[in-house]
A and B are shown apart, each in its own frame.
Chain A
Amino acid sequence: MLSKIKASALEALSDVTDGATVMVGGFGNAGMPMELVDALIEQGARDLTVVSNNAGNGTTGLAALLAAGRVRKVICSFPRQTDSFVFDELYRAGKVELELVPQGNLVERIRAAGAGIGGFFTPTGYGTPLAEGKESRVIDGRGYVLEYPIHADVALIKGRLADRWGNMVFRKTARNFGPIMASAAKVSVAQVEEVVELGALDPESIALPGIFVSRVVAVGKPAARSAA
């Protein structure tokens, strides 16, 4: 029987090694897999390279992982925010490295990794400091920059529902990087509100087919919506 369900977030992350590249879904805190990140902190892996859109908000999720001193490098598009004080302090102290990537190049580099693409030419960033040192080419009169895929050892993502085959549906703007990151990692771990029976998900609405999901952990609905 094929079942990707794990009993706990900690069990789902037991084999994350020091030095791993970890993709963390979410745009701000929408889609941020809080319970998985908390479990990663508890699990203890260090010297991580984190790939995520932002570099943590407030003191929870990715910010907590940074505060715990587990992150060596962040690859992201938008670290500086009003509530990114944890990252800001580490960066200014030289305790975390930053690779800044335009957001569309970030997601396309992740997509390329999952889709088996060795590199691609993008117009985004051409002629700017973020393309310095990169190969460029003019195609049909327009400038493009060569960008390479970003692969990960582990992806941590958040969905709404999953079945035991790993098929998933998402909720509103919490989908963001989730399906793409899941495709680009050797092991992709999803936290969902609830695991449902095979056949319960509308096949037309599955936004991430289970082939891209390695492990699923049910963490329950957030308090605000379970009360409703």
Chain B
Amino acid sequence: MTHTPPKYVAWTRDQMAARIANDIEDGAVVNIGIGMPELVANHLSPNKEILLHSENGILGMGPKPAADAVDPDLINAGKQPVTLLDGGAFFDHSLSFAMMRGGHLDIAILGAFQVAENGDIANWSTGKPGAIPAVGGAMDLAVGARQVFVMMEHLTKDGQSKLVHRCSYPLTGLGCVTRVYTDLAVLDVTGDGFAVRELCEGLDLATLQDLSGLTLKAA
């Protein structure tokens, strides 16, 4: 080691979600992926109008309903009950995926196993033999949204960096990630690798580079 690693305090998932929510502009059309990104919905400011898209045919999706107002015909991509805001619309799957693939969504927020410094993302399969693969709409969001935000832990449980030079897991999309929010840092994907926008408290760039096994730039 070339330096003494400082003590740092990783962000909680809610803190990560709050950072993402804060970066979404008023009026944006956003698709929030299944899993960790779902927390972002809890942090959207009531002072912004953010239009949530759900792949199964909703634009203007609202929060989950009260227990006595659950409607099995009104669910989100995770198949959980939701509501429709005033001004919201329903449509079929073809139109929904035209919105996604056709570049009409401002932001997609995805979870991931790995993000590479060229913007590649792997988030649908670990490629393990015997695992049942499932991809859903992840590949459409990856190629279609104008900006792709990834929300994930920086390290795997055994300390491997999920930010990588090139993905080793099966790819979801090529060169499509624009920004990564981890529990340690916020990074932009640039034509020249990752640029660090923000670090969690107590962390410095050199330590993050060591943890990531990558050369990182300051934004």
Contact = CB atoms under 8 A, between A and B. Distances in A.
A105 B92 CA distance: 14
Contacts of B79: 27-30, 57, 81
B134 interface: yes
Given A30-B72, A124-B143, A172-B73, A177 B171 contact: no
B133 interface: yes
B101 A124 contact: yes
Given A29-B72, A172-B71, A130 B91 contact: no
A225 B84 CA distance: 18
Given A104-B137, A126-B174, A88 B132 contact: yes
A131 to B, nearest CB: 9
Interface size class of B (residues with CB under 8 A): 35 or more
A5 B173 CA distance: 45
Given A77-B136, A171-B73, A175-B92, A27 B101 contact: no
B93 A180 contact: yes
B37 interface: no
Interface stretch (B20-28, B52-60, B154-162, B194-202): B52-60
Interface in B21-39: none
A130 B135 contact: yes
A102 B73 contact: no
Contacts of A133: none
A88 to B, nearest CB: 6
Given A80-B134, A102-B140, A180 B170 contact: no
A77 B137 contact: yes
A129 B133 CA distance: 11
Interface of B (DSSP majority class): loop
A207 interface: yes
A214 to B, nearest CB: 19
B72 A124 contact: no
A100 B135 contact: yes
A45 to B, nearest CB: 25
A123 B97 contact: no
B97 A103 contact: yes
Contact of A173 (B73, B132, B135, B144): B73
Interface string A121-138: 011111111100000000
A126 B172 CA distance: 9
Nearest to A115: B94
A29 B137 CA distance: 17
A88 B131 CA distance: 10
Nearest to B125: A129
A64 to B, nearest CB: 17
Contacts of B135: 77-78, 100-103, 130
Given A80-B133, A91-B132, A28 B75 contact: yes
Question: Which 3 pairs, one residue from A and one from B, show the smallest C-beta to C-beta distance?
Answer: A104-B140, A104-B97, A28-B79
Interface of A: 27-31, 53, 57, 77-81, 87-88, 91-92, 98, 100-105, 107-108, 111, 122-130, 143, 170-180, 207, 222, 224
21 contacts: A27-B75, A27-B93, A28-B75, A28-B79, A30-B56, A77-B135, A79-B133, A80-B134, A88-B132, A102-B136, A103-B139, A107-B93, A108-B97, A111-B94, A124-B101, A128-B139, A171-B73, A172-B71, A172-B90, A175-B92, A179-B94
